[in-house]
Amino acid sequence: MVFTLEDRLGKQCLLLPFLLLAAWKVGSGQLHYSVPEEAKHGTFVGRIAQDLGLELAELVPRLFRMASKNHEDLLEVNLQNGILFVNSRIDREELCGRSAECSIHLEVIVDRPLQVFHVDVEVRDINDNPPLFPAEEQRVLIYESRLPDSVFPLEGASDADVGSNSVLTYKLSSSEYFGLDVKINSDDNKQIGLILRKSLDRENAPAHNLFLTATDGGKPELTGSVHLLVTVLDVNDNAPTFEQPEYEVRIFENADNGTTVIRLNASDRDEGANGAISYSFNSLVAAMVIDHFSIDRNTGEIVIRGNLDFEQVNLYKIRVDATDKGHPPMAGHCTVLVRILDKNDNVPEITLTSLSLTAGKSTLVCSSAVGSWSYSQQRRQRVCSGEGPPKMDLMAFSPSLSPCPVMGRAENQALNEDHDAKVSEFS
């Protein structure tokens, strides 16, 4: 059989991979080293040549070298003595994330004959990362009606380290209203929350400022904290209240329609719709109140809407409600006493206090006082008229006295002014 040059070369090419594989197997070995992350440049890692049994004198002739697929710059080997050292900063979290294992894989190669050795360098975690919360502040909204032992979830912290360096414990700042609730879920992760220890009252304390601290298990331990702003939301638990339960107002009977009687003011400790107030007369007020007064729903101003008359009604008792717009609404109450003052709107009259049935000319008949219909509601009758000045009508309480002709009338006499009446001839 005759072989050409091409056939011989082809067979040699086929044999080359098998020869290389055999050489690798014969010379292959694996070394393990470890180095802490963040080690400084030049930090010793291991004696590769010595650990592989290579003579230092043959390192250069045999082209001793190291190769790494992705991290050639992190570690370096001295080609003269075969010592492996740190070349640049190693960040375990950047290199491997949160993986429990983190190693740098290297290949050490020598020629004559060809040998390939595998070196694994474990990067050990150090506690160089403090716990971090997602934000500097967490806001928690809680209705003031929530019952004690209610739990409100919080965002926990995370730690980029691994192992015990990432095991977190939590502590809450001192508070009489809140405690910390910590539970471990199926993934061995901690779920944290605020637990309500005491009933809230927005009107007394609308907000609570707390601090949550997370501490890792490293040596030395590192901490991180977050500000918790608890805002207490309002519920309609306060009724409107007036400044006083009863008001008294005096107003003259001749006051015009639209005259302000009083402007009421109520307050509500709630907020929003729960604290918005409207005013109204109570549903049980008398009809005469509605006929003579009105109230503005928004301002609480009571004004006159009808003519007042002291002689008919001199006191109005008005009950006013202040109702908020919560669900359900709550109401407060007060009473307004409106006293009507008399005006001189009735003609004066004379009331006899004594009377002589027989008398001569110029004889004193009686002593009287000028009165008016608005001063007394007693029934009076005119009994006679006397000469002036001023001329006046004499009045008597007894309806049995016969009236006499009217000779004149005293106009605009002051109340309770005393007069003496004498008998004179009538024409």
Does residue 130 sit within a domain? no
Judge whether residue 373 has pLDDT over 70: no
Q: Do 336 and 352 fall into the same domain?
A: no
Domain match, 358 and 321 both:
no
Whether residue 222 is contained in a domain is answered as: yes
User: 33-76 pLDDT, tens per residue?
Assistant: 999 998 999 999 999 999 999 999 989 999 999 888 777 789 99
Q: Which domain holds residue 184?
A: 137-233
CATH number, residue 144 = 2.60.40.60
Position 364 in a domain: yes
Instruction: Tell me how many domains the chain contains.
Output: 4
Q: Judge whether 427 lies within some domain.
A: no
Out of 157-166, 256-265, 304-313, 412-421, least confident range = 412-421
Highest mean pLDDT among 19-33, 71-85, 297-311: 297-311
For residues 112 and 15, membership in a common domain is answered with yes
Angle at 204 between CA 202 and CA 206, to 5 degrees: 40
Task: Please state, in angstroms and rounded to a whole number, the distance separating the CA atoms of residues 242 and 378.
Answer: 42
Answer whether residue 138 shows pLDDT above 80: yes
Residues 6+ apart with CB under 8 A from 367: 353, 354, 418, 419, 420, 421
Kindly indicate the confidence band of residue 164, based on its pLDDT and cuts at 50, 70 and 90: confident
Please say which residue of 233, 268, 297 terminates a domain: 233
Q: Quick: pLDDT tens for 224-251.
A: 999 999 999 999 999 999 999 999 999 9
Q: What is the structure's pLDDT at 98?
A: 81
Task: Evaluate if residue 27 carries a pLDDT over 70.
Answer: no
pLDDT classification of 25: cutoffs 50, 70, 90: very low
For residue 220, is it within any domain?
A: yes
pLDDT recorded at residue 350: 57
Phi, psi of 293 (to 5 degrees): -140, 155
Mean per-residue pLDDT for 182-206?
90
pLDDT the model gives residue 19: 35
In a domain, 131, yes or no: no
How far is Cα 3 from Cα 47, in angstroms, rounded to an integer? Answer: 50
Domain boundary pick from 233, 263, 278 = 233
pLDDT range class, residue 267, cuts 50, 70, 90: very high
Answer yes or no: is pLDDT of 209 > 90.
yes
Q: Where are the beta strands (DSSP E) in 103-245?
A: 103-110, 115-124, 137-143, 151-153, 169-172, 178-184, 190-196, 207-215, 223-233, 241-242
What value does the mean pLDDT take over residues 249-273? 95
Is the same domain home to 337 and 352? no
Percent of the chain at pLDDT > 70 equals 74
Measured at the CA of 237, the angle between CA 236 and CA 239, to 5 degrees, comes to: 90
Identify whether residues 255 and 333 lie together within a single domain: yes
pTM > 0.75: no
Q: Give the mean model confidence (pLDDT) for residues 148-168.
A: 92
Look at residue 370 and tell me if it is in a domain. Answer: yes
Task: Output the pLDDT for position 348.
Answer: 66
Reported as a single tens digit per residue, the pLDDT across 297-318 is: 999 999 999 899 999 999 999 9
Both 19 and 108 in one domain: the answer is yes
Confidence of residue 23 (pLDDT cuts 50, 70, 90): very low
| Cα of 107 vs its chain's centroid, Å | 63
Residues 9 and 107 in one domain: yes
Question: Which pLDDT score is estimated for 247?
Answer: 98
- Shared domain for 58 and 168, answered yes or no, is no
Q: Are residues 19 and 119 in the same domain?
A: yes
Tell me how far apart the alpha carbons of residues 139 and 230 are, in angstroms, rounded to a whole number: 6
357 belongs to a structural domain: yes
pLDDT over threshold 70, residue 204: yes
> Of 341, 376, 411, which one is at a domain's C-terminal end?
341
Residue type, 363: T
What was the pLDDT predicted at 128? 87
- If one compares 388 and 285, the residue with the highest pLDDT of the two is 285
